[in-house]
Amino acid sequence: MSFDLAARLAARRAEHLYRQRPLLDSPQGPQVVVDGQPLLAFCNNDYLGLANHPQVIEAWRAGASRWGVGGGASHLVVGHATPHHELEEALADLTGRPRALLFTTGYMANLGAVTALVGQGDTVLEDRLNHASLLDAGLLSGARFNRYLHNDAVSLAKRLEKATGNTLVVTDGVFSMDGDLADLPALAREARAKGAWLMVDDAHGFGPLGANGAGIVEHFGLSQDDVPVLVGTLGKAFGTAGAFVAGSEELIESLIQFARPYIYTTSQPPALACATLKSLELLRTEHWRREHLNGLIRQFRRGAEQLGLDLMDSFTPIQPIMVGDSAKAIRLSQRLRERGVMVTAIRPPTVPAGSARLRVTLTAAHSEAQVQLLLNALEACFRLEPEHA
């Protein structure tokens, strides 16, 4: 008996679901070189345009000179360096919480937080469209796991009625494939009414949302009592890498004691924390980045609606164009690429069956002229489809 991997791969190809890695041969930015081809990219999550910022690069370089290039050990052994500590304090300040805890990746932050807080005899309730890392965390926790209808506080309330033990309600802040916002006020209200905790993964909200870029909790004016567990990633709007959990003194100390992905992982390079501290400074002082980005979002939505494209309910940098059929989504993505524009086709199982889409992401590094080029390319490519021909 053997694993028939060839058959599994062939089936995925036949279903137009086969994935391949584009090879990037340039820094991140609007203008990239992918597989040897110069392209105008609308598919990365560098929302504030900081991933290739000269001050961030210099902060990393200076950090490497001072602290070396490796974390060297886990945080609890001898891997917790001064830049890590300073970054945690800065993130706590940004989120208005007593403490923050650095994780090496967003996946590990979600896995660590959920599995440290709930286990057998407890309940974890998650939005149906949550990120894979949140769903995996719920399943691996050993708690009773259930999903409520997308962004539906009434559906959540029904499941809360049947919850047992400690109950954790988990949601994305900005849903990564749809771009819509969680209805945090309503979810928080239902959770608090039943004595449950609400955990929000705001990976795509930090930077673009909130008066100071502090994300969806700031956007809605909520408190730590409303959202006790707040997760953010640093590889998107911050332009670097890693993640954090922010919350109470007791929460962070509990994660240090019980979150296995934190305890048993080598710390990120201290120089990376130095770079993120500079990103955080730029995020807090250069408000024009969010203002310019919001202008591009309005420009894109206005232009796409005039073209009759099927947009989703999003005012975030994530602007999906619904296509439906996976083969059609791949075809449109390829046609765009032939015109020098890179937009990724997102297909099942990342999104539900029948909801393949082009996932456009906008950044503060894009210009109005580049957004217009994207709209022109979209018009030309959609016109070639049979229903428009």
Query: Catalytic residue at 150?
Result: no
Residue 250: predicted pLDDT: 98
Q: Is 19 annotated as a binding residue?
A: yes
Backbone torsions φ then ψ of 191, nearest 5 degrees: -65, -45
> Whole-prediction pTM value?
0.95
Is residue 334 within 8 Å of residue 33, measured between CB atoms? no
Task: Report d(CA 185, CA 220) in Å as an integer.
Answer: 7
Catalytic residue among 219, 236, 278, 366: 236
Pick the catalytic residue from 176, 314, 326, 355: 176
Running DSSP on this structure, what letter comes out for residue 226?
Answer: T
CA angle 348, 352, 355 (to 5 degrees): 85
Q: Are 34 and 42 in contact (CB under 8 A)?
A: no
Q: Quick check: 93 pLDDT over 50?
A: yes
Task: Please give the pLDDT value at position 177.
Answer: 93
- Tell me the C-alpha distance between 89 and 84, whole Å: 9
Q: Is 176 annotated as a binding residue?
A: yes
Residue 107 annotated as binding?
Answer: yes
pLDDT, tens digit, 9 for 90 and up, residues 273-300: 999 999 999 999 999 999 999 999 999 9
Q: Give the contacts of 147 (CB within 8 A, at least 6 positions apart).
A: 125, 126, 127, 128, 130, 135
Whole-angstrom distance, CA of residue 287 vs CA of residue 212? 8
For the stretch 313-352, pLDDT in tens is: 999 999 999 999 999 999 999 999 999 999 999 999 889 9
Binned at pLDDT 50, 70 and 90, residue 71 comes out as: very high
- Structural domains of the chain ordered from first start: 21-48+287-383 (3.90.1150.10), 54-285 (3.40.640.10)
Residue 362 has pLDDT above 70, yes or no: yes
To the query of whether residue 236 is one of the catalytic residues in this protein, the response is: yes
**Is 176 marked active-site?**
yes
Q: How sure is the predictor about 2, in pLDDT bands with cuts at 50, 70 and 90?
A: confident
Residue 1 has pLDDT above 80, yes or no: no
Residue 183, classed as helix, strand or coil, is coil
Ligand-binding site membership of 267 (annotated): no
Report the mean per-residue pLDDT for the chain. Answer: 96
What pLDDT was estimated at residue 218? 98
Q: Residue 388 — very low, low, confident or very high, per pLDDT cuts 50/70/90?
A: low
In whole angstroms, give the CA distance from residue 375 to residue 159. Answer: 43
Q: What is the pLDDT of residues 120-162, one digit of tens each?
A: 999 999 999 999 999 999 999 999 999 999 999 999 999 999 9
CB 29 within 8 A of CB 50: no
Question: Which of 53, 75, 204, 278 is flagged as catalytic?
Answer: 204
Give me the percent of the chain exceeding a pLDDT of 90.
95
pLDDT recorded at residue 17: 84
Q: Would you state the pLDDT for residue 280?
A: 97
In 3D, which of 150, 180, 145 has the Cα closest to residue 163?
145
Q: Report whether pLDDT(389) > 60.
A: no
Helices (H), the chain: 5-14, 54-67, 82-95, 106-117, 132-140, 153-161, 184-193, 216-220, 249-258, 260-263, 270-285, 288-306, 326-338, 368-383
Chain segment 4-49, per-residue pLDDT in tens = 999 999 999 998 888 889 999 999 999 999 999 999 999 999 999 9
Packing angle between helix 368-383 and helix 326-338, nearest 10 degrees?
Answer: 120
CA distance 167 to 101: 22
